[in-house]
Structure 1
Amino acid sequence: MAGKLAHVTETRPATRADIPEFPATRPESCPFDPDSAFTRLRAEDPVTPVRCPAGMDAWLVSRYEDIRAVLADPRVSARAATSNHMLPDYDDADPLPGAILSHDGEEHARLRRLLIGEFTVRRMEALRPYIQRITDEHIDGMLKGADADLLTDFALPIPSLVICEMLGVPYADRDMFQHDSQVLIGFEADMATREATAQRLRDYLRELIEQRMVEPRDDLVSRLIARGNETDRPLIMEELEILALSLLVAGHETTANTIVLSMSALLANPEQLAAMRAAPETIGTAVEELLRYLSVVQFGIFRYATEDLTVGGIDVKAGEWLIAATQSGNRDEQVYPHADRLDVTRKDRTHLAFGFGAHQCIGQQLARIELQVALTALLQRVPGLRLAEPQAPSDFKHNGIVYGLRSMPVTW
């Protein structure tokens, strides 16, 4: 496979057989911490070769400043997207048209320009009353009983409803796209299954896109078609399908899992929960800390060197792979004192949870608002919220791009 680190022996006193596996095991003592190996790597070996589940060797970059440098470097390509180094059958093919996470340079800029107007701070803030309303409605529904699954009854519906509202996707179809999203962000299905799942979602979205081409509505898909048509290179159907698919999947999975993980972490740190409840006006600061602490994109960001470069004093050759371990950078003690401690009063807002550089998450403002509204409502309206049963390691989703919980039974 392209990108093998053939020159590792030139920079490390190791043979290829000595290269360690990518660190992907969370400590039993805390389900919110990344692999404990990162603490040592940041101190002793911040740019080091690892063997990936996908079969290639890559440079694992674990310090905050080096990660930012990698993600901002135009000589580093996003062609492999976020976490494909974790897929055992990954094939390094050319990015699909419209795959905004995988394109570089002008092609990426073209796609991002067409979307960025949909995700301005002003437009996202205009959604806050709607997000508040559906959040309150779901809490009303929960409070009619004495217990609930915080994932399926609260955390998952809210961002799903919002992204459906934005795209113009019928919320009635949520069971289908939520199931298929799980397949696409997980590592358990084989490549054939993932491809078939992606095609099923693309076929579904193509029907919606074709409808909007004939009868535009006040939704993102309609505006995206119109905006593309105003340029000298209108979006083709394949690009529209892939863009819509990316937004639909990313628009609900990461936020839903961050909501439940945030409440799980707060219940495990009652003094932090009490601090949030005592000062609701600081929810913005608290959400940034939870994003940093949890780092739900749990295996870092996969990248490819298109030219020779130096990272953290190590020479990286063109054609070699890198992993920007954002989950490690967010725990870098040189940037965050007591980095492994959840501190909702921490003022720093420079975390890497949304990535960095040209590919930084386009939907980050929406995610912030959804988290602020959802967590504030839970703390204020369900003060007695607690776990209905102790959480076990098997409750957490370890084998997927996005870390989260399979379920979270709660009572009050």
Structure 2
Amino acid sequence: MTTTEIPEFPMPRAAGCPFDPPPAARALQEETPLARVRLWDGSTPWLVTRYADQRALLVDPRVSADITRPGYPSPAPLPKGGTGFGFILMDNPEHARLRKMVTAPFTIRRVAAMRPAVQRIVDDLIDELLAGPNPVDLVEAFALPVPSLVICELLGVPYADHGFFQENSKVIVRRDAKPEERLAGHQALIGYLDRLVGAKLENPADDLLSGVAARVAAGELTRVEAAQMGLLLLVAGHETTANMIALGTLALLEHPDQLALLRESDDPALVASAVEELLRYLNITHNGRRRVALEDIEIAGETIRAGEGLIMASDIANRDPEVFPDGDRLDLTRDAHRHVAFGFGVHQCLGQPLARLELQVVYSTLYRRIPTLAPAVEPGKIPFKHDGSVYGVHELPVTW
């Protein structure tokens, strides 16, 4: 390709097709396993278009997740002093050292024990929905509160502060935010979490941040590392799942046959299958997973040179026809468990058991308790988050 032919990334979705990957990305997937794309800063990393190659590179030790390395394809200008997102943008062994400190609360067994508490949160919010105004914005009244309440309880963050951390989270995940806006949001959240860690040092409780504070007291973590860890868990713990709840609900409302299948079944296996298929079909990671090559790598007939950036776009990987035949069709009975919505390899999402649990409880409860749930506006009037690194809807007016 000449420089004028290299497409911009991220690519726009087609009007009227908000659940599908960008047509230009799908076209590249059909044409080639690796293609150059242009980022905001003029750099031209490789877009890895196919499922098998993405998985291979995500486990390759010659590929780095360290955002500070030259050539890393950053999705936006970095704030001064770094990203503040801790181990998610580090390589082993430091990544493994820090991640291990917060793994225990997210094990499948520990998360499974949270199901009754999550069910109570979902039921209470549905009670409030039914008793409140109609129509209502499902994002503000339900999709955001569910994961925010859950992650606040797990971390030991006061839910009364949810307005503060949600507003600042929106800024730092908005792709077109100015560097100074992103820096201000980041500093506000880091300062807030540093104060919380300090409070936990003085008065520890039975929560994750108290465990992190204990690591600080033992000299295993610095206060800065602890605050960054808290920031990662707080933002990732509510932003992604909230968007998945709202976007998944809209997708089901647009596919009434699939919604009926889910609403009319009490089979936990079908609910679990529905969650995996919606994660595959929708994919809310807008920026792709970013990496940089540490050495020359031969893959798919191409040579990726040391220092060249890589973007693994999950949305097109999860529609790869070699892995998911008829992948543009939403099918809740499909075996979709091999999707890469949570990533792959050592950096795959730490909180995926919790996200799965929350989505299973929501998807098995909301539509059964409100069987007449429907959009309150025409599809074309629903504002999608084309401007964010996390995809979803800004609001979802619903009625019943």
TM-score by length of 1: 0.92
Deviation at 1:299, TM superposition (A): 2.3
1:215 equivalent in structure 2: 203
One-letter amino acid of the counterpart of residue 358, structure 1: V
Deviation at 1:193, TM superposition (A): 1.4
One-letter amino acid of the counterpart of residue 204, structure 1: Y
Deviation at 1:17, TM superposition (A): 3.3
Judged with a 3 Å threshold, the aligned counterparts in structure 2 of structure 1 residues 48 and 98 are, in CA distance, closer, same or farther, namely: closer
* 1:380 aligned to which of 368, 378, 381: 368
Deviation at 1:84, TM superposition (A): 6.2
User: Matches of 1:213 and 1:341 in 2, distance apart?
Assistant: 51
Aligned-residue CA RMSD (Å): 1.8
Q: Does 1:313 align with 2:295?
A: no
Correspondence 1:338-357 to 2 at 5 A: 338-357=326-345
Contiguous gaps of at least 5 residues in structure 2 = none
Q: Does 1:252 align with 2:259?
A: no
* 1:79 aligned to which of 34, 41, 66: 66
Contact kept, 8 Å, 1:54 with 1:84, in 2: the verdict is no
1:390 equivalent in structure 2: 378
Q: Does 1:67 align with 2:54?
A: yes
User: Matches of 1:94 and 1:310 in 2, distance apart?
Assistant: 34
Deviation at 1:52, TM superposition (A): 1.1
* 1:289 aligned to which of 277, 289, 308: 277
Correspondence 1:39-78 to 2 at 5 A: 39-78=26-65
User: Matches of 2:49 and 2:10 in 1, distance apart?
Assistant: 11
Deviation at 1:105, TM superposition (A): 1.2
Contact kept, 8 Å, 1:261 with 1:405, in 2: the verdict is yes
Q: Does 1:266 align with 2:283?
A: no
User: Matches of 1:52 and 1:284 in 2, distance apart?
Assistant: 37
One-letter amino acid of the counterpart of residue 368, structure 1: R
2:351 equivalent in structure 1: 363
Q: How many residues align structurally?
A: 394
Correspondence 1:42-191 to 2 at 5 A: 42-80=29-67, 85-87=74-76, 89-90=77-78, 99-145=86-132, 146-191=134-179
Deviation at 1:398, TM superposition (A): 0.5
* 1:236 aligned to which of 222, 239, 260: 222
One-letter amino acid of the counterpart of residue 75, structure 2: M
One-letter amino acid of the counterpart of residue 371, structure 2: P
Q: Deviations over 1:313-359 (max 9, x none)?
A: 21001111010111110010110010111100001301010011110
Deviation at 1:210, TM superposition (A): 0.6
User: Matches of 1:101 and 1:258 in 2, distance apart?
Assistant: 20
Secondary structure at the counterpart of residue 172 of structure 2: helix
Secondary structure at the counterpart of residue 35 of structure 2: strand
Contiguous gaps of at least 5 residues in structure 1 = 1-13
1:276 equivalent in structure 2: 262
Contact kept, 8 Å, 1:23 with 1:37, in 2: the verdict is no
Judged with a 3 Å threshold, the aligned counterparts in structure 2 of structure 1 residues 221 and 84 are, in CA distance, closer, same or farther, namely: farther
Deviation at 1:229, TM superposition (A): 5.3
Contact kept, 8 Å, 2:264 with 2:368, in 1: the verdict is no
* Over 6 Å off, 4+ runs: none
